[in-house]
Structure 1
């Protein structure tokens, strides 16, 4: 068994004295692990950092074996954000969440492409936090738990949608939400109208919204939780005054 393709490094775990088990997110093969012999060497450590893009060839005798990776570097994103604590926190949170939420070897091309867009935007602190939240919305959708912001679940209205039902994941208008305001999740406007940008507080609302559904629909049913790196992301955004 063999394939070659592009991938994003999600996680690296030591294996033995010199090797590493590397998890990649690929467009055609999903989240896919493999053994990199010499993966802990001085030359490979800068390559095998979460967020970096690589070209990988995977080989195994049988399809269900761990297999071996031969990896070449394409981009060193991790190095480019190393001195930006907020961007580094976002990179680590996205990679860790993909590891937690995506089933192994299940194709999720939209999640892969969205992660590439997110990681490539991290040189601009003005825009990537909103892209990060939209990526989590896309992750939910691709896993079968899409949120519906198109119209009010109660009235069918398409304007003045301010909240989301925690039960259905559907939007609710301001008027319909009023009697149940403390039981609903705020819907930041930028998730419906990306061109409008976002205001202070909107990113926090977006992360609370996606975090709620990621926990309850995706992670808790498989006995997992949101990664600690996502908590650190929220702390970094708070410290930077972006949330």
Structure 2
């Protein structure tokens, strides 16, 4: 058994038994990690309310075979501006679910960590932007090596050019999709994601219900 410290974002929380929680994290140093937080449901003292969806944490872990054990968690940030807006919560959940579903365990990817962190920070501080979600999605696909073919039939040159700019600029807010091109961008992005999933994203279905 070895102990380690890491900076991480909470991707998913699952209750386990009467007192414990399984926590899926995406960390800067170690990539995606799954761990058990013992007693987290019954006592907030040990983790101080840190185990919340898409919280940014500094963690101490103990790793052996199987699940890691979370020993402590300190809050770096909880993105309070997201948590008061249902559409922002759904959008943050979408970003976290994409990272969880498309990344292997314990494969560091600092670029992807920075992309996820910057998107959560953007959601926290700025008005909700549909363009930002497409910006996040196409850059995630690029970082993971799943960059979509921009010459797909049914996607206009204008949309292809905006997606290409989104992958080159590296800054949220720099590329804005007109409303009539948002769905067209999805015609390219959603199938590129679906190729690597065995079932639909729950968060995407929720966003559709919200009209986001």
Short-chain TM bin:
0.7 to 0.9
CA deviation after TM superposition for structure 1 residue 211, in Å? 1.0
Q: Indicate the residue corresponding to 2:163 in structure 1.
A: 191
TM norm structure 1: 0.73
* Alignment check: 8 A CA contact 1:133 1:206 kept: yes
Please identify the structure whose Cα radius of gyration is greater: 1
Q: Which runs of 5+ in 2 are unaligned?
A: 167-173
CA deviation after TM superposition for structure 1 residue 87, in Å? 0.8
Match of 1:171 among 148, 151, 161: 151
* Alignment check: 8 A CA contact 1:55 1:74 kept: yes
Task: Note the aligned Cα RMSD (angstroms).
Answer: 2.2
Q: Which runs of 5+ in 1 are unaligned?
A: 148-168, 173-182, 239-243
SS at match of 1:87: helix
SS at match of 1:185: coil
Instruction: Tell me, in whole angstroms, the C-alpha distance in 2 between the residues paired with 1:58 and 1:191.
Output: 39
Change (3 A) 1:193 1:140: closer
Q: Aligned runs of 1:34-113 on 2, under 5 Å? A: 34-41=35-42, 43=44, 44=47, 46-60=49-63, 62=64, 64-69=65-70, 70-77=72-79, 79-113=80-114
* Alignment check: 8 A CA contact 1:8 1:54 kept: yes
Instruction: Tell me, in whole angstroms, the C-alpha distance in 1 between the residues paired with 2:97 and 2:187.
Output: 17
Change (3 A) 1:202 1:42: farther
Q: Does 1:212 align with 2:191?
A: yes
Instruction: Tell me, in whole angstroms, the C-alpha distance in 2 between the residues paired with 1:3 and 1:34.
Output: 13
Q: Indicate the residue corresponding to 1:156 in structure 2.
A: none
- Range moving further from structure 2, 100-109 or 228-237: 228-237
Change (3 A) 1:204 1:42: farther
* Alignment check: 8 A CA contact 1:39 1:45 kept: no
Match of 1:124 among 115, 126, 140: 126
Instruction: Tell me, in whole angstroms, the C-alpha distance in 1 between the residues paired with 2:109 and 2:200.
Output: 19
TM norm structure 2: 0.82
Aligned residues: 198
* Alignment check: 8 A CA contact 1:87 1:125 kept: no
Change (3 A) 1:105 1:35: same
